[in-house]
Structure 1
Amino acid sequence: MVAEPDANVLLAGIAATVPPVGLEEVPRLMRRVDRKYIVTAPTMAALAAELGDRFAVLRIGARRQFRYTSTYFDTPGLLTFHQHRQDRRRRFKLRTRTYLDGGGRWLELKLNGARGGTDKHRIPYDDAPGRALTREAMEFVRDTLLSELHLVAPETLAPVLSTDYRRVTLVDVAGSARLTCDTGLLCRDGGASAPARRDLVLLESKSADGRALVDKVLRGLGVRPVTVSKYCLGVAALRDLPANRWHPVLRRYLARHPEKRQASLAYSECPRVLASTCRTVS
């Protein structure tokens, strides 16, 4: 039997051969257009060959590949999950992200607004635990949701899911765009977990206008964007919740599906909770 290619090893090899750039040279792109792709290891190798010297790799110290862990917060009725599943025009996700190889911890609030782009707001969170929201954190969430999306923040937000993965970041040397390449994803929910396949890479093209070079190259390779969220995939898989729009990605990307379990009353009451938890301010 032929062993599946290990995408993590492949990316480490690609990163070792690409010219490096420092963190200060990476475009911030807090307001941007995101496109996501899932590619096999051979396609990732072909993409790297096509990009050639037009991309550099983020290097911090001696490292070019970095470990991340994130904890996502949601309401008891999983408001943000269902907003995303229903493709609500205005929605948000809240997480802490810890850079295990340097970079500290941040509290990040990702917003999707009327223009269809992604707007990320964040504050340093080094002095707070990754699975808790401080009073200052809730003030940040309330103020940002009200000012940016005209939404009143939910009263209760608690940790729901954690994700671990490795990332290589490629930077377009000619413009304000970057490509993140994630491998080894593991979604964790209490005692249950769902790993991604080892031979696949989750790519996210991030650019100011949605017309990044890498998107054009991927189209030429026959790769099309997918609708995917690490948080939503993990919640759908581990809690056996409806995920029709993500079903093809779930079947392809996750290495195995966890055992099904009965949804709790809180989740069966989602329509009522959704109607009352987060309201619009006119």
Structure 2
Amino acid sequence: MITTATSPSVIDLPTIDLDELIGRGSLLARVDRKYALATADAAMALELVDPTTTRVLQIDGVQNLGYTSVYLDTAGLESFLLAARERRRRFKVRTRRYESNGASFLEVKTRFREQTIKHRLPGEHLTRGGFSETGARFVDETLRGAGIRNPPVAGLVPSLRVDYRRVTLFHEPTASRVTIDTGLTWWDVRTGAWLSRPDLAIIETKSAGRPAGMDRLLWSLGHRPDRISKYGTALAAMHQHLPSNKWRRTLKEHF
């Protein structure tokens, strides 16, 4: 079961390495379903996962891996507002660093209707002066390709940092992935405000469309998908003047 961010546990499932996971379950175009649970409830669900159909990502003997993401937004929080107001076409731009091997990526996630598409550029592409030339071109071309008019690339600056630990599962029958994030702590880069939710677990299933095994398991335990975003929901929790109706129930129950 998952305990705390500083005391990761070993899950009693067959393991999968990173190369195989990427090869079989990258799912850069996918349908996401998210669940906000107490860590105790997430641990209970993990204990019921079928070991004959599910494997856990393990890197250098570690399963509960550390991540740092930094989300970028405009001064007017355009990316946040597109999500908060549920615009059909919306986007997130972030950097992500993996504690296990130090690898870094620049990522752009776009959403149209129910489908999320993620694009990744390996390496460090954010400097004090903004994006590198390669990074700026990558973000601009990706957003334009997703139908975002006049992408605000030059105006994107670090907005929110989140540190957390993640367990990743691979469901063999559906080639889907499940991530379980715990030990969540956020810092508002602009204001210095911070927020920590050590008792919160965010479970996300990533599939080509049909429900994954974890979806069905959580449904059987009485859990249904929640509206939650590690960027939008946390920013709304820290700044009550921001629009938050989309995440009202999640904010009330978990923040």
- TM-score normalised according to structure 2 size: 0.89
Using the TM superposition, give the Cα deviation of residue 103 of structure 1 relative to its aligned residue in structure 2, in angstroms: 5.1
Q: Aligned Cα RMSD in Å?
A: 2.2
Task: Give the match for residue 23 of structure 1.
Answer: 18
**Pairs within 5 Å for 1:85-104:** 85-102=84-101, 104=103
Task: Give the match for residue 194 of structure 1.
Answer: 195
| More helix as a share of residues | 1
Using the TM superposition, give the Cα deviation of residue 149 of structure 1 relative to its aligned residue in structure 2, in angstroms: 1.9
Using the TM superposition, give the Cα deviation of residue 168 of structure 1 relative to its aligned residue in structure 2, in angstroms: 0.6
Q: Please state if 1:71 is matched with 2:67.
A: no
Q: Which runs of 5+ in 2 are unaligned?
A: none
Deviates more, 1:36-45 or 1:124-133: 124-133
Q: Which amino acid aligns with 1:44?
A: A
1:19–1:30 Cα change, 3 Å: same
In structure 2, distance between residues paired with 1:131 and 1:222? 48
Whether the 8 Å contact between 1:93 and 1:109 is mirrored in structure 2 is yes
| Structure with the greater alpha carbon radius of gyration | 1
Q: Please state if 1:83 is matched with 2:82.
A: yes
Task: Give the match for residue 230 of structure 1.
Answer: 230
Whether the 8 Å contact between 1:7 and 1:200 is mirrored in structure 2 is no
**Pairs within 5 Å for 1:80-229:** 80-102=79-101, 104-114=103-113, 116-126=114-124, 128-129=126-127, 132-154=130-152, 155-190=154-189, 191-196=192-197, 198-229=198-229
Whether the 8 Å contact between 1:10 and 1:41 is mirrored in structure 2 is no
Q: Which amino acid aligns with 1:213?
A: G
1:79–1:223 Cα change, 3 Å: same
List structure 1 runs of 4+ shifted beyond 4 angstroms. Answer: 127-132
Using the TM superposition, give the Cα deviation of residue 72 of structure 1 relative to its aligned residue in structure 2, in angstroms: 0.7
Q: Please state if 1:43 is matched with 2:41.
A: yes
In structure 1, distance between residues paired with 2:19 and 2:74? 36
- TM-score normalised according to structure 1 size: 0.81
* Number of aligned residues: 247
Whether the 8 Å contact between 1:179 and 1:205 is mirrored in structure 2 is yes
1:236–1:205 Cα change, 3 Å: same
Deviates more, 1:241-250 or 1:102-111: 241-250
In structure 1, distance between residues paired with 2:253 and 2:102? 32
Q: Which amino acid aligns with 2:206?
A: K
| More strand as a share of residues | 2
Q: Which amino acid aligns with 2:106?
A: L
1:16–1:120 Cα change, 3 Å: same
Q: Please state if 1:247 is matched with 2:245.
A: no
Q: Which runs of 5+ in 1 are unaligned?
A: 255-282
